[in-house]
Amino acid sequence: MIRQHIVFYGWVQGVGFRWRAMQAAARSGATGWVRNDPGGSVTMEIQGTQKAIDEVIMAIERSPYINIDRMEVKTIPLKEGERGFFPLG
């Protein structure tokens, strides 16, 4: 089990990114949150197995409307007892 703080850059706002992330997280069993940032990026904290996190990212990348130019990924401490995956803001 790991937790990652990921910032996505590119064509990531106004294209269903958060909705797709929530749907994929629900399918994979990952927990955490996702939010739009003022500068046009999207930030996500996601917790689960590496496989579950990879599945969420791949589902987001498969969208024909989302174009991720780059991601900044940091592994951060786990949040014990976290349930669900939610949009913030």
Q: Which of 3, 35, 36, 83 is catalytic?
A: 36
Partnered with residue 66 across adjacent β-strands are none
67 flagged as catalytic: no
* Element spanning 20, H or E: helix 17-28
18 flagged as catalytic: yes
Q: Which of 3, 18, 27, 67 is catalytic?
A: 18
For every residue of 52-76, DSSP letters joined together read: HHHHHHHHHHT-SS-EEEEEEEEEE
Active site positions, annotated: 18, 36
